């Protein structure tokens, strides 16, 4: 099986073993980004040994775009990507125009920008009961090259400014590939700012403690979803392995080291975690942190979940308590791409009987900085 040219550690090891200078690697990447279907011989000025090595062990991309689906308002584009092993993942491009404040937020400088929502695994082992992805179970981790190839495919459609690891999978359960892929994304030729990259996690405590040291200046988003451990375990079974007290301790340590706001993701479930008492408990849990709380309307996922969407008034009251009583910056997410099944928590890919069904990707995005 061939390796992706964007599997950085493997590529460098092969170059070192063959005595090829690794300075050629970014130049190869630059050419492939512009010409993802090129032949190796089309890349100019490489050592002879590099051409034979590339042809024998690497592909420009090991994944292919199976289909592209645009929302009716042309704001969201969903890419269905087939991996070399036959599995499918999705990536979603979301477009914003902050000059006009077009999509429900306050107008901010910066103009047109696109955000790419990336998957880190096929399936997910976290089993969150409000998310269809969890119903798939865990299939496999993506390599760093397979993660980066989602960006390469997206760049053929739109210039990407922001990256959010909020697609299929728990990014911190694929820690090595996550770190390597982000290091490539922030280096030449991609040169994305780490301040424009957000990693979302359900709260893998030991990985959160490492993240700042391995990837400084990164944005961290935490899928908290409940202010008490009992409710959290009810809707997020994986939370049993990461008690709320230990999670908050790791976040306190992370924030002390990084001096950055943390995004708190909170899905609103009718009668489960959306009452006034929950808002007060959440505020008291977060009162020593610099955070942005993002309230997420729940998208029903049919028979896969017993939960219901919170009433609009409940969401507004919840926000009012956090903002007005406790002065915690709180946003309500506007979902994008519902008409192409691109709403939060609805991704599930079923390959049984060779039939592919996709009911959406987590379009989960919040800028922590203008």
Phi, psi of 145 (to 5 degrees): -65, -40
* Catalytic residue (one of 128, 131, 344, 366): 344
Strands (E), the chain: 3-4, 58-59, 64-70, 76-82, 88-97, 112-117, 121-123, 138-141, 162-165, 197-201, 219-223, 262-268, 291-297, 330-332, 349-350, 357-358
* Token pair 């990336």: residue: 118
Half-sphere exposure of 207 (CA within 13 A, CB side): 19
* Catalytic residue (one of 14, 90, 180, 366): 90
Specify the length of the chain in residues.
Answer: 370
DSSP for residue 239: G
Is 233 noted as a catalytic residue in this protein?
no
Phi, psi of 71 (to 5 degrees): -70, 160
Helix 175-185 with 8-18: angle, nearest 10 deg: 80
CA distance 74 to 48: 45
CA distance 365 to 345: 13
CA distance 232 to 238: 9
List, in order, residues 6 or more apart from 152 with CB less than 8 Å away.
Answer: 6, 32, 33, 36, 61
CA distance 14 to 27: 16
CA distance 280 to 326: 9
* Token pair 């998957």: residue: 119
Is 344 noted as a catalytic residue in this protein?
yes
Q: Looking at the annotation, which residues are catalytic?
A: 90, 344
């Amino acid at each position: 099986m061939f390796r992706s040219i964007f599997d950085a550690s493997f590529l460098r090891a092969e170059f070192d073993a063959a005595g090829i200078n690794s300075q050629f690697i970014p130049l190869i990447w630059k050419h492939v980004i512009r010409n993802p279907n090129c032949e190796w011989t089309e890349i100019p000025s490489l050592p002879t040994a590099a051409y034979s090595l590339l042809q024998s062990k690497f592909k420009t991309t090991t994944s292919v775009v199976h289909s592209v689906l645009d929302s009716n308002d042309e704001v969201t584009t969903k890419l269905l990507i087939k991996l070399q092993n036959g599995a499918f993942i999705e990536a979603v491009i979301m477009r914003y125009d902050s000059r006009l404040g077009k999509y429900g937020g306050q107008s901010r400088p910066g103009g047109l920008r696109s955000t790419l929502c990336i998957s880190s695994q096929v399936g997910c082992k976290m089993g969150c009961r409000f998310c269809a992805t969890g119903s798939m179970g865990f299939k496999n981790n993506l390599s760093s090259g397979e993660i980066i190839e989602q960006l390469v495919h997206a760049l053929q459609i739109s210039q990407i400014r922001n990256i959010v690891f909020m697609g299929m999978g728990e990014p911190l359960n694929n820690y090595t590939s996550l770190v390597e892929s982000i290091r490539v994304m922030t280096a030449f030729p991609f040169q994305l700012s780490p301040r424009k990259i957000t990693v979302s996690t359900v709260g893998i405590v030991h990985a959160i403690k490492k993240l700042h040291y391995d990837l400084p200046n990164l944005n961290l988003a935490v899928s908290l979803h409940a202010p008490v451990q009992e409710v959290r375990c009810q809707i997020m079974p994986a939370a049993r392995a990461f008690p709320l007290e230990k999670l908050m301790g790791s976040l306190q340590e992370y924030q002390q080291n990084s001096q950055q706001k943390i995004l708190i993701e909170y899905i609103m479930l009718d009668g489960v975690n959306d009452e006034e008492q929950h808002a007060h408990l959440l505020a008291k849990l977060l009162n020593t942190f610099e955070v942005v709380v993002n309230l997420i309307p729940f998208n029903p996922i049919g028979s896969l979940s017993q939960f219901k969407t919170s009433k609009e008034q409940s969401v507004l009251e919840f926000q009012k308590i956090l903002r007005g009583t406790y002065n915690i910056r709180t946003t309500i997410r506007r979902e994008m791409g519902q008409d192409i099944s691109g709403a939060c928590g609805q991704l599930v890919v079923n390959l049984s009987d060779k039939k592919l069904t996709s009911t959406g990707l987590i379009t989960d995005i919040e800028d922590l900085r203008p």
